[in-house]
Structure 1
Amino acid sequence: MRTMIIAALLALSAALTAFSVSALDLFEPDRDEVQLVLVTSALWLLFGLAYWLLRRVNGRAVIALVLAGSALIGGAALIGPPNTSTDSARYAWDGIVQNAGLSPYALTPADDRLDSLRPDWLFPAPETTAAGNEVCVGERIATTRSTDGDRLCSALNRTTVPTIYPPASEILFAGVRFLTGPEPTYWPLQVVGLLLSLGTTAMLLVGMRRRGLDERNAALWAWCPLVATEAITNSHVDMLGVIFVVAAVFLVSSKQVWRGGIMLGIAIGTKLIPVLAAPALLRRGGWRMVAASVLSFTVLYVPYVLATGIGVLGYLPGYLSEEGYQDGSRFALVSLVAPGASAVIVAGLILAIVAVLVILKTDQNQPWVGQLVMIGATLLVLSPRYPWYALLLLPFVALSGRWEWLLVPMALTLRLLVPSVPLTRASIAIAVIVIVAVSLHRAGHGNLERMLHPLRSRPA
């Protein structure tokens, strides 16, 4: 009976996911933010209830439910186009440009020299109104200017700057468009996101079984609404980094350091953020892991450096400034005690302390708890407005079973849907309080004393 109830909840989650993807998005001029929040909250509630019931299921039914739920909810996320982000339009464009033999770091999408490459679904022609004015029409279509000053309608964001994405991502974009050509719209990358998410689910289940971990916790990844919306519907390339990070963790923790380092380097070459998984692996991986990571990362960059030179940095410096990370305005909680540029220093000190503690205290046979703390603390301190950054956190929530850290992606999702600074600060503060309280409860009095013992050594 419990298995049937869980199956019904997963089917309901899939139906609600399909509805949210097909009927709700952030691009509608008259969008109902309340409806978006309510539907998203319902998805998280169904997810939590299904996981709670799964805790009392045993045997093969667990594997079947986790995999079926991952496939069912993920498949539902394919129903419609991206609904909270336009990033996958840029992914498609970068792939198209590369297959034409050009570097995405060298030319901007608005460059007139690329006019012959522009498919209509990414760059629709402007329409003429009754008054004779040209306008860009469409929910995801922005109005910009080409380099010669003409009106340019585009589904891309930031058309006047080069790409920001590292080479592993660019290789994926080029590979997808090599197979499909420029005309298919968003679905090719959505299918890739589904395959990567299912691959991660399977990898977690296998790795957890081999290490004697509770396989039921794999549902914390497989059924999570964030995976469906951000890895599949919005096709964020963070998903590629996630699967390589999970592979790296399992390899390094199994003392396959060189191979794990290569996987970690590829993950970092996807979007840089996976470097946060490294501190917890350093004591076991050592110089060999670092060398392998640097080597694979460098190899990925070589063709693009040869083609573009220093231009491979793309829009990264401008992006950091635009997002408020240089003047400190982006740090939701830190800016309360350290306003302005001083927030950058305080945030850096906090994360440096966390990194040192993670390096010193992480059990090298089970590094995922340290990785959970490192990645989760970074997201709480930096408080990005993009919840898909938290995709990297979710596998470590599953591996550790520390469900309380799910409050981090929930808070970041709320920040995206309702961009209110007071609400963001309140939600992140609640996440911090709950995580600390539950973590102290988990530790217990004796474990807490041992945890706080100065630099107590742990087996390598």
Structure 2
Amino acid sequence: MTVPATNFDDILVIIPVLNEEETVGTVIHSLQDLGLQQIRVVDNGSCDRTAETALNAGADVLSEPIPGYGRACWQGMQNIPEHIHWILFCDGDGSDDLSVLPKFFAQRQDFDLILGNRRVRPESRAAMTPVQNWGNGLATTLIRWGWGHPFQDLGPLRLIRRSRLEQLNMQDRGFGWTVEMQAKAAEHKLRTCEIPQGYRPRQGGRSKISGTIKGSIQAGSIILSTLAVLYGQHLQLLYAKSPLRKYSVWLSAILLMAGCAMIVPYGDFTQPGMVPPFWRGVSVMGLGFVMSWTLPQVSKVWFWMVAIATRCILLAMAPGNDIWRYLWEGRLQNLGISPFELAPTAPELTPLRTAWWSMINNADVSAIYPPITQLGFRGLAAIATSILLFKLAFVAADLGVCWLLQRRFGRLRALIYAWNPLILYSFAGGAHYDSWFILPLVWAWLCLDTQPRRAAITLAGLGLLGVSIATKWISLPIIGFVGWIFVRKREWTWASISVLVPVMPMLISALPFCSLTSCPLIPTSSSFVTKGRSAEFLPIGTLLSAPEWHNAVLLIPLAIALLFLLWRSTQVGDFTESYLGILLLLSPVVHAWYFTWLVPFAVASRNWGTRLVSLSAFVYFALPHRESLGAGNWLLTSSERIWLWTPFVLGWLWTWYFRRSQSLFKTSPGTSQ
């Protein structure tokens, strides 16, 4: 049946196409027979005569050379005449039965968005590929769970009121266009209906999504990620309307400080029963930390008040057992003895044993902390072998990191570090020295990534990088990356300087501990170094015969990963974050506070893996809990390993994927589902 064109002068048809020469003309003629004369075909980079065919059929043809279904739809929406009040989207592959459109037009009075439903008719459902059926079913189910709207299909055939479409503020430029439109329609309470439509296998060309395994996986992942982002925005809107928002900074601060107070009595994990109440307090801290993610802003007073108050509270907490080695090795140096030469159990040191000597961990192993760290221990011990003094030194460096991050990225983003439960416990509570390593590393990163580059700042960054290496060896590979940056730019002088300057702090600080014939800075013969295991991601000790497995073997995959990062990375911060993440995944020895190395970089990257592991890392304390109960096996159970590592891995993958999603939208050709 042909309908007079004048009935539909306020409807604009947009057809995104890619290599659909065989079918686009027929689709255009079918639309014209229904009275639709205002037809825009958006050529999304076709290699055939699609554009010419569409033009000859009477359509206006636009070009969008950057691939992406959503991008083509968006291009079609530009410069629409004022008299257009409705927009009809359809595909150009001939798969949709357009004879149903009069039913769409009849519903315009009562609805804002009218959709075709291919899945209600058995014959249409059967014509869809299994990937289409499964993907559409999953996506509509998730929309129903998230927004409470019972859509049944994500089909491309849809008629939407122009004013309402503009209200949706569509952002997706790829495969997620249709799912974004429907999720936002539910969010904005659009009046919607679905009309059964016929569907047949595409009449020409090849599907860019459901026709290939790669396309199906790519489209599915983008659709799921789009829904995740939209649901996050949905929750933010709900929270914004909640009365809790007005008091969110108060609640976050109170929970963080209350949680800190709750864990103070339970820091001595050598005593049975300490870890469960410690976990309860950490849970309260974690809730306050999560609430801080929702803050729209934070004042300078709130930022520093909570950052300092929480750390002050935790100064009263019993430290972790690393502190006793710090005190011991600082004391030895002030007595003229190198901690690299003799392990705490050495008979020569028996007369020097203190009341707390028995609490030193791995007492049969000589010092493993690098030279600058040892000199720091020596300086503090020269004042007093005091736990509080050491804690204050670690917290001072910790607060220095807070200052650097809030200065560069702003207070709101710096909350990921400043109010982080793992950071708070590790330095102020557990008294781990890693803040001494993090401070020069972060400072070096900020200097080396400063643009435009200035010689003095770059030299300072290289020197600080050397200090971080001489504080903890693990930042050594960063020298290679910085040098490689200059080599790629053929700046040979800077390439040489980038190696020589960081080496100087290491060499100078090593002089008190080395001679011409000996420099025992790493106890490589120790079984703790060669075969130690602790909370590792890869359960090598379980899968393989642990006595036969040397930890040095893991340097091979680490080296391969570093080569990949050298090729891929362009910024010091990006390289360092990726390198440290991979290092933790491969390391056979992982302690909860090791994850603090990543937290400053999450301020810049907003890495969800780091955010989540700041909470899940506390599963690690099941190990000292079992030890306090008399169990000698220092290995995570399978369920504990899953609880600790899964949030980190999934969050890391999500962040990586989300970073790439915009480029995927731009580079992935496609049609709708």
TM-score past 0.5 threshold: yes
Structure 1 residues 38-68: Cα deviation after superposition (integer angstroms, max 9, x where no partner)? 3323322221112x232x11xxx44333222
After the TM superposition, which residues 205-224 of structure 1 pair with which residues of structure 2 at under 5 Å, given as runs?
Answer: 205-206=406-407, 208=408, 213-224=409-420
Select the residue among 648, 654, 663 that pairs with 1:446: 663
Q: 1:9 to 1:407 in 2, by over 3 A?
A: closer
Identical aligned residues as a percent: 20
8 A Cα contact 1:18 1:76, kept in partner: yes
Matches within 5 A, 1:400-411: 400-411=605-616
Shift of 1:115: 4.6
2:538 to 332, 348, 371: 332
**Higher normalized helix content (fraction of residues):** 1
Q: Does 1:266 align with 2:467?
A: yes
**Structure 2: gaps of 5 or more residues:** 1-243, 487-493, 624-634, 669-673
- 1:226-305 equivalence runs, <5 A: 226-254=422-450, 255=453, 256-275=457-476, 277-278=478-479, 281-282=482-483, 283-284=485-486, 286-305=495-514
**Structure 1 residue matching 2:519: 3-state secondary structure:** helix
- In the other structure, the counterpart of 1:413 is 618
CA distance in 2, matches of 1:68, 1:450: 46
Q: 1:40 to 1:53 in 2, by over 3 A?
A: same
In structure 1, the residue matched to 2:565 is 358
Query: Which residue is 2:250 aligned to?
Result: 7
Give structure 1 stretches of 5+ with no counterpart: 124-153, 452-460
Equivalent residue letter for 1:19: M
Contact 1:405 1:435 in 2 (8 A): yes
Provide, for residues 132-152 of structure 1, a one-character-per-residue CA deviation record: whole Å limited to 9, x for no partner: xxxxxxxxxxxxxxxxxxxxx
One-letter code aligned to 1:198? L
Query: Does structure 2 conserve the Cα–Cα contact (< 8 Å) formed by 1:13 and 1:47?
Result: yes
Question: Are 1:79 and 2:316 an aligned pair?
Answer: yes
Render the CA deviation track for 1:413-460: whole Å, top value 9, x for unaligned: 313335533024423244323321342133215257779xxxxxxxxx
Partner Cα separation in structure 1 for residue 477 and residue 611 of structure 2? 18
What are the superposed Cα offsets for residues 209-232 of structure 1, whole Å, 9 maximum, x if unpaired? xxxx45411111111111111122
Give deviations 1:230-286, integer Å, cap 9, x for gaps.
Answer: 122222121111001011112222333322222111111112122354455441573
Which whole-Å deviations, capped at 9, do the CAs of 1:176-200 have from their partners, x for residues lacking one?
01122x4x3x111111111111111
Q: Does 1:95 align with 2:336?
A: no
Partner of 1:455: none
Separation in structure 1 between the aligned mates of residue 477 and residue 582 of structure 2, nearest angstrom: 10
Residue 319, structure 1, aligned to residue 554, structure 2: no
> Normalising by the residue count of structure 2, what TM-score does the alignment of the two structures yield?
0.54
Q: 1:362 to 1:62 in 2, by over 3 A?
A: farther
Equivalent position SS for 1:357? helix
- CA drift of 1:163 comes to 1.6
Amino acid at match of 1:358: L
Match of 1:174 in 2: 378
What is the aligned counterpart of 1:106 among 338, 341, 347?
Answer: 341
- Deviation for aligned residue 1:167: 0.6
CA contact (8 A) 1:161 1:315 kept: no
Residues in 2 aligned to 1:304 and 1:448: alpha-carbon distance in whole angstroms: 56
CA positional deviation for 1:399: 2.2
| Higher alpha-carbon Rg | 2
Q: Residues 305-331 of structure 1, C-alpha deviation per residue, up to 9 Å, x if partnerless?
A: 039923332467432224149xxx955
> Distance between the aligned counterparts of 2:640 and 2:479, measured in 1?
28
Over 3 Å counting, the alpha-carbon distance change for 1:429 and 1:356 in structure 2 is same
Looking at structure 1, the residues matched to 570 and 472 of structure 2 have their Cα atoms a distance apart, in angstroms, of 26
1:381-400 equivalences in 2 (<5 Å): 381-382=586-587, 384-400=589-605
Change (3 A) 1:33 1:194: closer
Residue 53 (1) aligns with residue 259 (2): no
Pair 345,104 (structure 1): closer, same or farther in 2 beyond 3 Å = closer
Structure 1 partner of 2:650: 433
Residue 349 of structure 1 and its aligned partner are, at CA, apart by 4.6
- Distance in 1, Cα, partners of 2:411 & 2:479: 24
1:397-421 CA-partner distances (Å, limit 9, x unpaired): 1122223322344444313335533
With 330-339 and 350-359 compared, the bigger mean Cα shift is at: 330-339
Contact 2:394 2:431 in 1 (8 A): yes
Letter in 2 for 1:95: G
- Residue pair 2:608, 2:654 contacting (<8 A) in 1 also: no
Distance, in Å, in 2 between the alignment partners of 1:227 and 1:308 is 40
Contact 1:277 1:375 in 2 (8 A): no
Higher relative contact order (CA 8 A, sep 6+): 1
> How many aligned residue pairs are there?
399
Q: Distance in 1 between matches of 2:350 and 2:273?
A: 33
State the SS of the aligned residue for 1:306: coil
Distance in 2, Cα, partners of 1:318 & 1:305: 23
Which residue is equivalent to 1:157?
361
How far has the Cα of 1:348 moved from its partner? 3.9
Residue 6 of structure 1 and its aligned partner are, at CA, apart by 1.2
Q: What is the alpha-carbon distance in structure 2 between the residues aligned to residue 246 and residue 77 of structure 1?
A: 24
Equivalents in 1 of 2:364, 2:659: separation in Å? Answer: 50
| Equivalent-residue separation in structure 2 for 1:225 and 1:63 (angstroms) | 20
Aligned in 2, Cα 1:410/1:275: closer, same or farther, shift over 3 Å?
farther
Q: Does the 8 Å CA contact 1:368/1:400 hold for their aligned counterparts?
A: no
- C-alpha change, 1:64 and 1:357, in structure 2 (3 Å) is farther
* Aligned residue identity for 1:360: W
1:383–1:412 CA contact under 8 A, matched in 2: no
